[in-house]
Amino acid sequence: MPSSRPVLSFAVRVSLLLVLGACQPARTLPLRPGEDPTALRYRVTYVREPVHALDVELVLVGENAPRDFLFTQPGGVDRVRVFGPEGSGHELSVSPEGRVLVPRDTRLLRYRYPLEARVRGARPDFSSGMGEGDSWHVAGRAWLLRPRVVSPSLRAELVVEGVDALLPWEPDASGVYRLEGGDLVDSGFHAFGGRRCTVRLPDAVMEVAVLGHMSRMDDAGLCAWLHQAASEVLTVRRHFPYPRITVRVIPVPGRQAPAVFGMVLWSSPPSVSVLVGQEAGPEFFPRDWVAVHELLHLAHPTFVPHIAWLSEGLATYYTELARARSGRQTPEQAWAELVSGFSRGRAAVGTRTMEDVMTHGASFQGIYWTGALFALLVDVELRRATGNTRSLDEVLERLASSGPTATFDEFGAAVDAVAGRSLFHELLERHLSQPAFAGVEPLLQALGVEPGPDGVRLGAARDSQVREALEGARRGPVTAKFGARMSDRDPFVSRDGSPRHVQLPPLTQ
């Protein structure tokens, strides 16, 4: 029996079983001859009375416009009012699955999506809506009614009135968002109201919405923190992965941690949202890891289907390396964080094999840190195989050159291409049948990483030069280091275009 068979079987199981949080792809149909591709026109009006809500009017253009619609995340809208050619209207119920099937002669649909959770009879939620005053955060999949079957050539227009909105896409000069069918399916995170700042990188722009007030941190400080995190992505990738992305920052009352939670949604381009502690002050942000972790997800492709241990493992591994490469933490601190994470992962999964953890999942500690350990193994073996001249960084560059998505097999092929030989399946065969964290101690010993009661000591060892290369490779232009006062030419711009300044304390080593 060929030795590759167990590995290929594992790859199939990964593809089938680790679709954690992934959506099934929308059904697509070819465009009919003569069909107007701009089949849908959305007019979204932000209203404040009697409650904060989105009033949505959806015009169906042409005889071939869709008639079968879906709320991807149902629960926020119970009824939709539909209008025929004579202007007469009646209400339709939204099914528990979020489906709305409208009559053939429907020309217009109207519905209201309440942003305030109490109106929906629910608690504030990251996806279905949270905010205060005129600052609201919601995922597009919760409020945007879209065709259940999406043609790849379908086009839609969307306008927002009554509020300054930050959506993943960029409007044209007249304020119209011109969308493709895929944008309606993977619609990302949306911000309505709040305040804005722009973070500029050498080859990218990050549009930021601050959705609420901070007790001890101003908007310029928040933008400096995000710029630091985005710049650290450039210690891993040669260029920022996308020319423009959007980020939403949502303060959480009563919390002091700089970042409580973050998430990336794979809209086009991706959209990022981060919950931050409302009481967090400038002294807390230099130690934050959540923002850079979320932005590092942009450094790897979207894995299709979603493979949690691989995507989270890559981001978790690089979170520590990127902060060391930028100088935000020392190499000793980076290795101490990795060693501590491996220990937490081991405590979570016990003696389960790496294959079992990867295939059947575990606690988030098990998934994240098993994936991070495998990323370290791949990086070290690539450097060993190439005389310390090539690395996992180059695997990500190679995948990026092929497009924004990749499969598990394509990731493995990129590893082999960088190594110059078959390496990926060899690593899988070597480690899958062993306890997930069995290889930690010998690997750290070879790298010269010596954990102890007072932290980590780095010393000479067989692969200490590999370790040093991991810590210091590709230092990017991290220009907004905490503790540095920005000049008028630094990349933080307020809504009116005037430069903003911030003084943040230096990182305590």
Average pLDDT over residues 479-489: 31
- Higher pLDDT, residue 4 or 145: 145
Tell me how far apart the alpha carbons of residues 54 and 43 are, in angstroms, rounded to a whole number.
10
- Higher pLDDT, residue 120 or 175: 175
Q: Look at residues 437, 256, 432 and name the one whose alpha carbon lies nearest to residue 340.
A: 437
Is 143 in a helix, a strand, or coil? Answer: helix
pLDDT tens, position by position, 486-509: 222 233 333 333 333 223 333 332
3-state helix, strand, coil in the chain (%, to 5): 35, 25, 40
- Higher pLDDT, residue 21 or 263: 263
- Higher pLDDT, residue 9 or 343: 343
Amino acid letter at 138? V
Contact 180, 155 (CB under 8 A): yes
By CB atoms closer than 10 A (0-12, 13-18, 19+), residue 242 is middle
Q: Look at residues 384, 292, 438 and name the one whose alpha carbon lies nearest to residue 392.
A: 384
pLDDT tens, position by position, 352-372: 999 999 999 768 899 999 999
Report residue 389 as tokens.
């001249």
Other C-beta atoms within 10 Å of 461: how many? 16
Amino acid letter at 238? R
- Asked if the model's pLDDT at residue 461 lies above 90, the reply is yes
Average pLDDT, the chain: 87
- Asked if the model's pLDDT at residue 70 lies above 50, the reply is yes
- Asked if the model's pLDDT at residue 312 lies above 90, the reply is yes
- Asked if the model's pLDDT at residue 233 lies above 80, the reply is yes
pLDDT at position 64 is: 85
pLDDT tens, position by position, 375-430: 999 999 999 999 999 999 999 999 999 999 999 999 999 999 999 999 999 999 99
By CB atoms closer than 10 A (0-12, 13-18, 19+), residue 498 is exposed
Quickly state the pLDDT bin for 37 (edges 50, 70, 90): low
- Higher pLDDT, residue 232 or 116: 232
pLDDT at position 152 is: 84
Contact 360, 17 (CB under 8 A): yes
Instruction: Determine phi and psi for 505, rounding to 5 degrees.
Output: -70, 150
Tell me how far apart the alpha carbons of residues 244 and 207 are, in angstroms, rounded to a whole number.
8
Range name among 82-91, 216-225, 395-404 with the lowest pLDDT average: 82-91
Strand order in the sheet with 204-210: 261-265, 271-277, 244-252, 204-210, 195-201, 492-494
- Asked if the model's pLDDT at residue 304 lies above 70, the reply is yes
Residues 447, 453, 459: CA angle, nearest 5 degrees: 25
DSSP state of 366: H
- Higher pLDDT, residue 309 or 16: 309
Long-range contacts of 121-127 (CB under 8 A, 24+ apart): 122/75, 126/261, 126/263, 126/273, 126/275, 127/73
Alpha helices by DSSP H, 116-257: 117-120, 140-143, 181-185, 219-233
Tell me how far apart the alpha carbons of residues 378 and 420 are, in angstroms, rounded to a whole number.
13
Q: Look at residues 311, 217, 235, 310 and name the one whose alpha carbon lies nearest to residue 270.
A: 311
- Asked if the model's pLDDT at residue 36 lies above 80, the reply is no
DSSP secondary structure of 233-270: HTTTSSS-S-SEEEEEEEEETT--SS-SEEEEE--SS-
Quickly state the pLDDT bin for 18 (edges 50, 70, 90): very low
pLDDT tens, position by position, 149-161: 998 889 999 999 9
The separation between the first and the last C-alpha atoms of the chain, rounded to the nearest angstrom, is 54
pLDDT at position 51 is: 92
Contact 471, 321 (CB under 8 A): yes
Q: What percent of the chain has pLDDT over 90?
A: 79
pTM for the model stands at 0.86
- CATH code for residues 38-184: 2.60.40.3650
What are the angstrom distances between the C-alpha of 362 and each of 107, 353, 366, 478? 48, 11, 6, 35
pLDDT at position 38 is: 74
Burial 345-354 (b: 16+ CB within 10 A, else e): bbebbeebbb
- Asked if the model's pLDDT at residue 7 lies above 80, the reply is no
Is 422 in a helix, a strand, or coil? Answer: coil
Average pLDDT over residues 119-125: 74
Contact 313, 375 (CB under 8 A): yes
- Asked if the model's pLDDT at residue 462 lies above 50, the reply is yes
Tell me how far apart the alpha carbons of residues 201 and 233 are, in angstroms, rounded to a whole number.
11
Quickly state the pLDDT bin for 82 (edges 50, 70, 90): very high
Average pLDDT over residues 445-458: 95
Report residue 430 as tokens.
């070597």
CA 397 to chain centre: 18
pLDDT at position 474 is: 53
Tell me how far apart the alpha carbons of residues 226 and 482 are, in angstroms, rounded to a whole number.
11
Amino acid letter at 357? V
